[in-house]
Amino acid sequence: MARIDLHLHTTCSDGSCTPAEVIARAQKANVTALAITDHDIVTGLPEAMEAGRNAGIDVIPGIEVSSRHGTSEVHILGYYLDWRDPTLLAHLDGYRQARHRRNPLIIEKLRALGIDITYEEVKTLAGTDAVGRPHIARVLMDKGYVGSSKEAFDRYLADGAAAHVPRELPSPAEAIQIIRAAHGIPVLAHPSWVDGKDGIYALCAQLKDAGLGGIEVHYSTHKPDQTAQYLDTAQRLGLLVTGGSDFHGVTKPDIEVGTGRGQLKVPEKLLEPLRAAAATGR
């Protein structure tokens, strides 16, 4: 049955499938429209749009930007943005530079723990300028230090783990503003990541004032009560409802394009309000 998927990563950031491979998987899953939302980079969009045209899949230009709110990492998705806008590209370049400042510090910590790894190896595996912790996790997997990406995060890379180093991040309001300035619709990604059970409504109300346009209500790991809670929050605040799998390939092996862990089905009808909001700048 037809569905959409508005949250997908490719080899241009920390995914392990090329944009064309993501489109091929989407076609198999009967996905009719999708958004490529790589972290801090838009280089996958031309290939994705070309493959989408050939497959009859509507490809929406997207981005995912990380921000920090208190102790939480808050990720903001941006849809239908002017992805060639020079100011946007300059901001994204700045975020990638912050990655290149942090990543070698993680490598230093790993080396101090006796692990044989260099940043050169990580950059070679990544093959893109948007280098993230999942790339480090993959090198650790390839070298046999860990059995899975989850183990790499749990033991070394997650907040509080042995080799964690925080990244300089914008505030959620800044991330929202940068997407709005490029005429994109900013959407709160995976709200379940935000600390504090009842903090979501307050956070979304605050972020709406800063220009937030929607909430990612449907997500691979959301339980039915979470989906219901976020849907209620979106409706009460007049925010758009979106959804996506957050497909990454090998670093999240249980999550597939379009279907997530098997239960995900983002309704096609959510696309038109998002498109209309982008067209009218609301």
Task: Please select the residue that binds ligand AMP; options are 123, 150, 155, 275, rule is CB under 6 A.
Answer: 150
Task: Please select the residue that binds Fe ion; options are 6, 10, 11, 14, rule is CB under 5 A.
Answer: 14
**Nearer residue to Zn ion within complex by CB, 33 or 65:** 65
Cα separation values, 51 from 24, 148, 245, Å: 8, 30, 19
Task: Please select the residue that binds ligand AMP; options are 3, 39, 96, 222, rule is CB under 6 A.
Answer: 39
Rounded CA gap, 49 and 60, in Å? 8
Local structure of 46: helix, strand or coil: helix
Contact 18, 10 (CB under 8 A): yes
**Nearer residue to ligand AMP within complex by CB, 27 or 67:** 67
Q: Quote the least distance from Cβ 282 to ligand AMP, whole Å.
A: 28
Contacts with ligand AMP, 95-134, as mask; x by CB under 6 A:
-------------------------------------xxx
Task: Please select the residue that binds ligand AMP; options are 149, 229, 245, 259, rule is CB under 6 A.
Answer: 149
Contact 125, 116 (CB under 8 A): no
When CB distances to ligand AMP are compared, the closest residue is: 132
β-pairing, 72-79 with 31-36?
unpaired
* Tokens describing residue 2: 């037809």
Rounded CA gap, 5 and 39, in Å? 16
Check residue 135 for interaction with Fe ion (CB under 5 A): no
Contacts with Fe ion, 51-80, as mask; x by CB under 5 A:
------------------------x-----
β-pairing, 185-188 with 214-219?
parallel
Rounded CA gap, 244 and 253, in Å? 16
Lookup result for tokens 């045209």: 53
Q: Quote the least distance from Cβ 131 to ligand AMP, whole Å.
A: 7
Q: Quote the least distance from Cβ 272 to ligand AMP, whole Å.
A: 28
Which of 110, 127, 112 lies closest to 10 in space, CA to CA?
127
Burial bucket for residue 12 (CB in 10 Å: 0-12, 13-18, 19+) = buried
**Nearer residue to Zn ion within complex by CB, 47 or 64:** 64
Check residue 5 for interaction with Zn ion (CB under 5 A): no
Task: Please select the residue that binds Zn ion; options are 138, 246, 249, 260, rule is CB under 5 A.
Answer: 246
Contact 192, 89 (CB under 8 A): no
Check residue 189 for interaction with Fe ion (CB under 5 A): yes
Contact residues for Fe ion, defined by CB under 5 A: 14, 75, 189
Contact residues for ligand AMP, defined by CB under 6 A: 14, 39, 66, 132-134, 149-150, 153, 158, 167, 248, 251-252
